[in-house]
Structure 1
Amino acid sequence: MNDASLLQRAQAIRLAIFDVDGVLTDGRLYFLVDGSEFKTFNTLDGHGIKMLIASGVDTAIISGRQTPVVERRARNLGIRHLYQGREDKMAVLDELRGQLGLELHQVAYLGDDLPDLPVIRRVGLGMAVASADAFVREHAHGVTRARGGEGAAREFCELIMRGQGTLDAAQAAYL
Structure 2
Amino acid sequence: MSTDLLQRGKKVKLAIFDVDGVLTDGRLYFLTDGSEFKTFNTLDGHGIKMLIASGVRTAIISGRKTQVVERRAQNLGIQHLYQGREDKLVVLDELLGELGLSYEQVAYLGDDLPDLPVIRRVGLGMAVASADSFVRQHAHGVTQARGGEGAAREFCELIMRAQDNLDAAQTAYL
Report the TM range for the smaller structure's normalisation: over 0.9
- Distance in structure 2 (CA, Å) of the matches to 1:92 and 1:172: 36
Aligned alpha-carbon RMSD (Å): 0.2
Equivalences, count: 174
Query: Which amino acid letter does the alignment assign opposite residue 157 of structure 1?
Result: C
C-alpha distance in 1, partners of 2:88/2:27? Answer: 21
Structure 2 partner of 1:80: 79
Q: Which structure 1 residue ranges, 4+ long, deviate > 4 Å from structure 2?
A: none
Kindly indicate whether residue 64 of structure 2 is the aligned counterpart of residue 97 of structure 1. Answer: no
| Equivalent-residue separation in structure 2 for 1:9 and 1:89 (angstroms) | 21
Cα distance between partner residues in 1 of 2:67 and 2:73? 10
Report the equivalent of 2:129.
130
Q: Describe the SS at the equivalent of 1:87.
A: coil
Aligned residue in 2 for 1:169: 168
Q: CA deviation at 1:3?
A: 1.0
Q: Give runs of aligned pairs for residues 133-144 of structure 1, distance below 5 A.
A: 133-144=132-143
Name the counterpart of 2:154. 155
Deviations 1:73-97 (A, max 9, x none): 0000000100000000000000000
Q: Secondary structure of the equivalent of 1:82?
A: strand
Segments of structure 1 that go 5 or more residues without pairing to the other structure are none
Match of 1:7 in 2: 6
Matching residue of 2:113: 114
Q: What do the CA deviations read for 1:38-90 (whole angstroms, capped 9, x no partner)?
A: 00000000000000000000000000000000000000000010000000000
Q: Residue 28 of structure 2 aligns with which residue?
A: 29
Give the secondary-structure state (helix, strand or coil) at the position aligned to 1:165: coil
Per the alignment, in what secondary structure is the counterpart of residue 126 of structure 1?
A: strand
User: Counterpart of 2:19?
Assistant: 20
State TM-score, norm by structure 1.
0.99
Q: Sequence identity, in percent?
A: 83
CA distance in 2, matches of 1:145, 1:4: 16
Letter matched to residue 153 of structure 1: A
Letter matched to residue 42 of structure 1 = N
Aligned partner letter, 1:49? I
Q: Which amino acid aligns with 2:57?
A: D
Deviation at 1:130, TM superposition (A): 0.1
Matched residues in 2 for 1:38 and 1:66: separation? 12
- Within a 5 Å distance, the mapping from 1:63-78 to structure 2 comes to 63-78=62-77
Please report how far the alpha carbon of residue 141 of structure 1 lies from its aligned counterpart in structure 2 after TM superposition: 0.1
